[in-house]
Amino acid sequence: MNIHCPACGSKQVITRNLGKKTAGTIGIAGGAYAGFIGAANGARTGAHIGVVSGPVGLTLGTLGGSILGALIGATSGGVTGAKLGERIDKTVLDNFHCKQCGHSFSESE
């Protein structure tokens, strides 16, 4: 990395990635929730079919669908959130922090 502090000119600059971390976490939680809701809706539909096919198949299908839905939702939500946060870091937040003088600044400065 070749970024200088605009205040003191030091090369001791670190990235904070606050937006990336925050948005990634929110994305994981939101994605898991959305995935779980989708799986719950699917399970409800499956319940009507499961009445005919038997209680064991119904239980396994419901559990598997819910867990899988939550996992897929969490993964895609986390990736989306991290990408969004990366953009926020680059454009909105002061993503760089000078270890020399404590000055925080963004890429455009």
Distance in angstroms (rounded) separating the CA atoms of residues 11 and 100: 8
For residues 64 and 102, which CB has a smaller minimum distance to Zn ion in the complex?
A: 102
Segment 82 to 101, residues that bind Zn ion, using CB under 5 A: 98, 100-101
Distance in angstroms (rounded) separating the CA atoms of residues 32 and 17: 23
Q: Is 47 in the site for Zn ion (CB under 5 A)?
A: no
Q: Mark 4-43 with x for binding to Zn ion (rule: CB under 5 A) and - for no binding.
A: -x-xx-x---------------------------------
What Å distances lie between residue 56 and 41, 47, 49, 68, 103, CA to CA? 19, 11, 12, 18, 62
For residues 33 and 105, which CB has a smaller minimum distance to Zn ion in the complex?
A: 105
On whether the CB atoms of residues 31 and 25 are closer than 8 A, the answer is no
Interface residues with Zn ion (CB under 5 A) are 5, 7-8, 10, 98, 100-101, 103
